[in-house]
A and B are shown apart, each in its own frame.
Chain A
Amino acid sequence: MASIEAKTGPMTHSRLPRRGLSRHARLALVWLALAAVPFVVPNAYWISLANLALINLVLIASLNLLMGYGGQISLAHAGFFGLGAYASGILNVRYGLPPWAGLPAAAVVAGLGALLIGIPALRLRGHYLAMATLGWNAILVVFFTQLVGLTGGPNGLLGVAPFSIFGHALDTEAKAFPLAWAVAFLVMLAISNLLASRIGRSIRAVATNELGAQSLGIDSFRTKLAVFVLSAGMAGIAGSLYVHINQYASPETFGIAPSIMLLVMVAIGGAGTFYGPMLGALIYTAVPQILLDYEDAELMLFGLGLLVVLILFPRGLAGIPAALAGLVRRRRA
């Protein structure tokens, strides 16, 4: 990915954190702006969409960490999302643990799920890795569906409690928003810090040239495994948010189709760009809602939109300014 950044030329450089605001201040500013969402939207339905968008952001940003920066393809991200959702939900429904205990547990369980498949699968590359993770997602869905005593089976997990603060339940969209907002901020902050750290540089080095990175003493397998487990853990956190905000989970939410959509959204937003996942999450959440009014044409329009973006802007929406700038430069030359 480092090579791509270099190629985008002067424009990208002017936007890098070195000039102007620090990367932390920039993120904080964006999140302060987001805090206004519940006050400017017309009704609770919109706030519920904002909550969903924040959960999707955690999912897409964590997948972007793995895909965009780490260069790995995972088609099991919705599966890890589900592992987190069911872990947190089952601990609450069957064992009476509060959602606050479920949140870290969800991250741990999803992380373990990734470790289990990551050790054998990350020795594979490209399409083979994609197939292995795809299979893992299919297996997880079978577990979610068949362990009826734990998961509630195909009818879903019922009676999940919402988060609560000092005995006050966060059971409406407006009350749940600050939580989703804060958790999404912490995840974005964690990703930002990770990328700026030594490990973050190893991740990018391994993605750019695995042999080269190894020759410099980076343990490429352990680096890949670490980023895979971290990214799954974040998906688990999204799962915990999802199950306690919706107070429900059912298997098909965590199937292969959503896994593929998440992958597409990383690409649409702009793989390997820090704010690209925000665009991806916005589109993933908003477009199906806008298209609801077009009934049967919905799926077709959605698919068409994806094709247009991916063909015209292979670097995603976040890459459009750069693509246009490049076009203009070529015209002038």
Chain B
Amino acid sequence: MNFLRKKLDDLKRPFGKGQKWERYAPAVNAFDTFLFVPNHTTHSGAHIRDAVDLKRTMVTVIIALLPVLIYGIYNTGYQYLIQIGEAFTFWDAFIHGALKIIPMIVVSYVVGLTIEFIFAVYRGHEVNEGYLVTGLLIPMIMPVDIPLWMVAISVAFAVLIAKEAFGGTGMNILNPALTARAFAFFAYPTYMSGNKVWVSEASNIEGISGETILGTLAAGGNINYGFLEMFQGSIPGSIAETSALFVLIGAAILIITGVGSWRIMLGSILGAGFVGYLFNLWGANALMSFSWVNHLVVGGFAFGVVFMATDPVSAAQTNKGKWVYGILVGMFCILIRVFNPAYPEGVMLAILLMNVFAPTIDHYVIQGNINRRKKRWASAFKTV
């Protein structure tokens, strides 16, 4: 360890203060700090600090994403091979999925991190770890056959327009990963919706149907999946959205470690369940009479509310606000699904919409606190 440390210190020398390449230091530090927690000591304020830092927090999210990702890779292969009709093993399916998905992850990280590094050097701050999560989320919510160059352009759009234009990590209004998906959705609709994109190779091979459950319902069709299949996730869909079971494992990791807000997750489930139940009572069409319980396990709802709605930067920031935000995300998700057959998947737009309104929700929560204080001042003034 000491040998490695010395080597690193030697390598970093030209990037030191007052040295030739000082301005590129953030790029080098980003790699160094992945090996070692730096030797920086406190200089003002509290003399001791908690072991937690942003890197640890973001890595926790990635760990929570891994079960979903691994299942998503397997399911990608499974959906393809089951329709081909040949016998296959777990590894056949997994390798088929991995060959599709790993290049997308690589493209997402390379493009996104390059932009992040450039901005860090340009602005003279360290590279924030937020993109480690965003960069993994983006491929996970794309259809499997989307061309890699579209992934690259979506990533570039999301990082530049949704994040850096607002001032970088911590400043963005919209969730960057969902912005990437929304960009792809509106820029390349034929690759992002319809009945040919949700199963690997469905657009190339005759006879493979690549329709999602929500798409089938929106088209007025019947579905032949049971609740358990939908819950487990062996259904067509974006790469990582299908398995409510594995999303729940991720949710458990996020909640136990305190990294993800349980208020937002629970609020969303309550909101979606309530609206879904009301529609069940109404029951005017296939989507309305689709059981509210099933609404919670199909499509991107579970993945969206656990991993995207809880993004602390774009969500509401106050505890009360988180409840309101979560409930509204859930309600809008089902509303969009049911009322707008052009967008059978409502969770993306519901979260983006509520991202925009999150500051407003917080504003009213905080205004409540301010009003309470001012009222106290006024009553104290009266008694004097």
A, B in one complex: no
Which B residues contact A (CB, under 8 angstroms)? none
